[in-house]
Chains A and B, each alone.
Chain A
């Protein structure tokens, strides 16, 4: 009993920036009806207006470094920038200035290092990638390197979102305020992920090229304290610039209280994933080059590296909404599920490829994940009560396949359309009623990237039902998606498109279960049961209740 795409209602011919929603038992394609609440947040960042920064990689950096400096200064700089290999490189390259034996020996050591690293690279092929390529490879964003919007994060408690753009700036939008601050930092390069701190109004963690930045965006003082400039958005707001204190130090603020905290650790670059614990106390960061996952205490700026052998790095991390578990994917065919009380982990080896994406059910009992090279969604069920001394004792023994998204053709008014394929990312709405799956697509085979949406039910038994597809304007593809955690009337999926538009697709439904306290704003009254009976005959995956 598995859900496959053949049972989906076919996607409608693309008209406008929205597709159809399942709403109050009927499909509608009229977007304007449902957009009044968040209309201000329909954003547009034309690709042409954003200039990607020309990033000086280590090779070009050497060209820019002033050769008039003494060898000592250059070596010190190289040591600081690129460690031992940089220093050796510098010495080997300036053979005119160093004694011959030093040049020769540094060349020898360099060759040895390269040989060792190539051996290491043959074990873990991802280590041969450059930082940029690595971020693009492991990011949850489809086609990250050419995407105008590289990251998107809803605030967990208020209608506020942060958008990371191709030009390495981050813009923050709040429909209630006319200002939208821009965050820029010297170290904020190749933003791979960003997330707001839970149980906090203003802290935003950003995974950058070689560090983590934690911004403190004061929600009250933005409109008064910073200078104003214009941006290209639908709403044309004034957007003040928030610059870190080291560049911009208005006398009214304490010079030492910077807006941005820089968290870096040797060997931990590029950072491709960040995750705040749901209780807001810890921040976990991961880098595909670093075998250790770092657990940060941000206020103190200290970190605890959690080393485990195997995997060669950590690419993607996802914290279960109840905070008891953490999934960590590695670049090889292995992922781990950490238990966050004593920080022990359970290994999940022998996948067919690396784990590409994963998401947790709102109660933290189920983990869905996808594997690169496969077109199915797996599920793990954790039945034990978290917090028992043995931790993972009640964990699952094997993953089950819950959905098959292999290619199928569907009848549409325009003719047959091919859908399906590999999966880029998964997103589960905070109430656990909708699951969005971003399909990679294949331009050569005439399969566009697309978002498939499932209806889900967690209690009493896990069920997966087809819901529909989300498509953009003709010629655009979805790149990134996230559910809005503050949508009161159902689920709202925010999609960033390849043309730089960000739109919101709402799914209206009556929630069958009361949201957990602490997730939404105030706890709403329990709403009467929806109508799952309509779809009983279409249930495609049902967990057997034993």
Chain B
């Protein structure tokens, strides 16, 4: 645990260290002028050494530290996958996420303020003194306000998109590289991602400001007692927003903001996922809790377990000397303690997944008919608060959600609607409907006593349900299973020539049966609809979408692992005790027919 914390702190320190060059680059770009190159450079130097720049730089350091802290607090190695759009809405409205968004919003404002100070000129301050007919007057500088609001918007959308695209999810790469090379390779991608994302965020912000811009402007004017300078165009009109210099500054500032934050995220990912080599056997008794078998069997925290499994997969593949330690016997007693612990943990991981898949499959099979039902949600007569959920056999399955603003009696009079007692469905369906119920009730309580009849055909439910999500959620933590499979199969294959005491031989039947059972469950799972459809490429390049395809990786690794064992042991496997069904499956593998 201490190591992963240290790695996280190191990553934050590096992102702070990278801030000066980034800021310098930003200053150079923001003051860019093609026709006065000399003046441009001297101006940049003056700005960089000015007191205000140093103050804003300290503020920026604070923001980066805070972003790093949020990364550390919010990251996970198992992605949280929303099975429906309503569940996603629930995630967005969760207090924890709300706090995240709020803080990022404020940090966005702070960064934008720093940017405004750095750019100077007409963006420098919120108020400006203008001489009018009534004498000098404090007026609102709308350019400054727009910059701050854009910062807030970009900060908020960063937080929101981070949730939607699972930016907090940390994936482990199959190709391990040194940190510096990894960073160098990803840096251009991050630059492009931040520039592109800044463009999109800016487009949305400008659209919003175009329609709603007067609200914050009026509010700021009222609270700060500033006047609106009528001689200057307000910015929430087309001509005001088509100011190229303003757009450029907004875009550069947004890119700068996103770039510093993305760099923090990137460094955090690289440092935390760096392969760590755990000692296989403790040198001293007090280090026992730090060695591989202990960490693998430990439950908390997940990142440590993942790192240990990764280490197991790597040592089983690359390090003969460490493999030897796994196969060795304990000094007094002569028990293969290390191998037993590793083997037990890997097998329990595999059987867990098998169980999960089988129960999911059974669930789907028993609820197969629910697909053909439609749902009607309406308030009962008499205006009582309780809602009745009913399902109907609706022939018009393609009808969309129709909100019928009519009196209630018309609803049951419709021939094919018969109120029915709410009966449970698959858990996800029910939960999503429940949250929908609460949502609509709050909606109607605000909108007045209109009885609303929601007729939702399965099409709507289907569109609310993210089709692949249940499959993705099942395999959300499959990276652990992949490593367990790789580690086990490499160790078993190596044991053919390296295992002097035969410690692996005794467990071979259980390993094979666990793998074959998982293979069967995975095969069955991939026959379900949506399980084998590949998701489209995510356009959001900072979000790691590799969790969406983990199930394919697991399937491929599982097959390769079984083949690795059969290719090594060959016909000797016929001597292994196993059920006839498994033997048949194994024979397919021996003949390369799977």
**Cβ-defined contact, A299 with B553, below 8 A:** yes
Residue B362 is within 8 A (CB to CB) of chain A in the complex: no
Residue B80 is within 8 A (CB to CB) of chain A in the complex: no
Contact with A along B176-194 (1 / 0, CB 8 A): 1110010001000000000
Complex partner residue of B174 from A254, A297, A305, A344, CB under 8 angstroms: A297
Complex partner residue of B546 from A279, A298, A300, A521, CB under 8 angstroms: A300
Complex partner residue of A256 from B175, B532, B563, B593, CB under 8 angstroms: B532
- CB contacts (< 8 Å) of B571 on chain A: these are 522
Complex partner residue of A304 from B173, B549, B553, B569, CB under 8 angstroms: B173
Contact with B along A289-322 (1 / 0, CB 8 A): 0000001011111101111000000000000000
**Cβ-defined contact, A305 with B185, below 8 A:** yes
- CB contacts (< 8 Å) of A324 on chain B: these are 318
- CB contacts (< 8 Å) of A281 on chain B: these are 174, 486, 557, 560
Residue A536 is within 8 A (CB to CB) of chain B in the complex: no
Residue A94 is within 8 A (CB to CB) of chain B in the complex: no
- How many chain-B residues does the 8 Å CB contact rule pick out? 45
- CB contacts (< 8 Å) of B178 on chain A: these are 342, 344
Complex partner residue of A301 from B534, B555, B570, CB under 8 angstroms: B534
**Cβ-defined contact, B549 with A301, below 8 A:** yes
Complex partner residue of A200 from B175, B497, B560, B591, CB under 8 angstroms: B560
Chain A residue at minimum C-beta to C-beta distance from B277: A389
Task: Knowing A201-B594, A281-B557, say if A523 contacts B549 (CB, 8 Å).
Answer: no
Measured CA separation A257–B569 after assembly (Å):
32
Residue B317 is within 8 A (CB to CB) of chain A in the complex: yes
Chain A residue at minimum C-beta to C-beta distance from B275: A342
Measured CA separation A300–B317 after assembly (Å):
21
**Cβ-defined contact, A385 with B553, below 8 A:** no
Measured CA separation A287–B12 after assembly (Å):
37
**Cβ-defined contact, B320 with A200, below 8 A:** no
Measured CA separation A296–B173 after assembly (Å):
11
**Cβ-defined contact, A522 with B534, below 8 A:** no
Residue B583 is within 8 A (CB to CB) of chain A in the complex: no
Chain A residue at minimum C-beta to C-beta distance from B319: A387
- CB contacts (< 8 Å) of B527 on chain A: these are 254
Contact with A along B311-350 (1 / 0, CB 8 A): 0001001111000000000000000000000000000000
Complex partner residue of B570 from A297, A305, A522, CB under 8 angstroms: A522
Indicate the size class of the contact surface on chain A: 35 or more
Residue A517 is within 8 A (CB to CB) of chain B in the complex: yes
Most buried by B among A298, A302, A307, A342: A302
**Cβ-defined contact, A523 with B557, below 8 A:** no
- CB contacts (< 8 Å) of B567 on chain A: these are 157, 199, 517-518, 521
Residue A54 is within 8 A (CB to CB) of chain B in the complex: no
Q: In the complex, how many angstroms separate the beta carbon of B416 from the nearest chain A beta carbon? A: 31
- CB contacts (< 8 Å) of A280 on chain B: these are 560, 563-564
- CB contacts (< 8 Å) of A342 on chain B: these are 176-178
- CB contacts (< 8 Å) of B496 on chain A: these are 517, 523
**Cβ-defined contact, A279 with B592, below 8 A:** no
Residue A343 is within 8 A (CB to CB) of chain B in the complex: yes
Contact with B along A189-201 (1 / 0, CB 8 A): 0000000000111
Q: In the complex, how many angstroms separate the beta carbon of B180 from the nearest chain A beta carbon? A: 11
**Cβ-defined contact, B560 with A199, below 8 A:** yes
Q: In the complex, how many angstroms separate the beta carbon of A488 from the nearest chain B beta carbon? A: 13
Complex partner residue of B320 from A301, A341, A385, A523, CB under 8 angstroms: A385
Within 8 A of B (CB), among A476-494: none
Measured CA separation A324–B567 after assembly (Å):
19
- CB contacts (< 8 Å) of B550 on chain A: these are 300
Q: In the complex, how many angstroms separate the beta carbon of A522 from the nearest chain B beta carbon? A: 3
Chain B residue at minimum C-beta to C-beta distance from A323: B317
**Cβ-defined contact, A200 with B563, below 8 A:** yes
Contact with B along A509-539 (1 / 0, CB 8 A): 0000000011001110000000000000000
Residue A219 is within 8 A (CB to CB) of chain B in the complex: yes
Chain B residue at minimum C-beta to C-beta distance from A519: B567
- CB contacts (< 8 Å) of A344 on chain B: these are 178, 181
Within 8 A of B (CB), among A201-230: 201, 219-220
Residue A151 is within 8 A (CB to CB) of chain B in the complex: no
**Cβ-defined contact, A300 with B552, below 8 A:** yes
Measured CA separation A84–B314 after assembly (Å):
42
Residue A386 is within 8 A (CB to CB) of chain B in the complex: yes
Task: Knowing A219-B593, A304-B173, A307-B185, say if A257 contacts B560 (CB, 8 Å).
Answer: no
Q: In the complex, how many angstroms separate the beta carbon of A150 from the nearest chain B beta carbon? A: 25
Residue A158 is within 8 A (CB to CB) of chain B in the complex: yes
Measured CA separation A281–B558 after assembly (Å):
11
Q: In the complex, how many angstroms separate the beta carbon of A177 from the nearest chain B beta carbon? A: 11
Measured CA separation A385–B318 after assembly (Å):
10
Task: Knowing A201-B593, A220-B593, A518-B564, say if A256 contacts B318 (CB, 8 Å).
Answer: no
- CB contacts (< 8 Å) of A540 on chain B: these are none
**Cβ-defined contact, A254 with B553, below 8 A:** no
- CB contacts (< 8 Å) of A257 on chain B: these are 526, 532
- CB contacts (< 8 Å) of B559 on chain A: these are 199-200
Measured CA separation A279–B557 after assembly (Å):
10
Measured CA separation A521–B564 after assembly (Å):
11
**Cβ-defined contact, B185 with A279, below 8 A:** no
Q: Interface residues, chain B, CB within 8 Å of chain A?
A: 173-178, 181, 185, 314, 317-320, 486, 490, 493, 496-497, 526-527, 532-534, 546, 549-550, 552-553, 555-557, 559-560, 563-564, 567-572, 591-594
- 7 interchain pairs, CB-CB under 8 A: A256-B534, A279-B564, A281-B174, A282-B174, A299-B549, A304-B175, A324-B318
Pairs of residues from A and B, 8 with the lowest C-beta to C-beta distance, nearest first: A522-B570, A299-B556, A256-B533, A199-B563, A201-B592, A387-B318, A299-B552, A300-B549
Known contacts A219-B592, A300-B552; can you find 7 more A-B pairs with CB under 8 A?
A: A279-B490, A297-B175, A341-B318, A342-B178, A387-B318, A517-B497, A518-B564
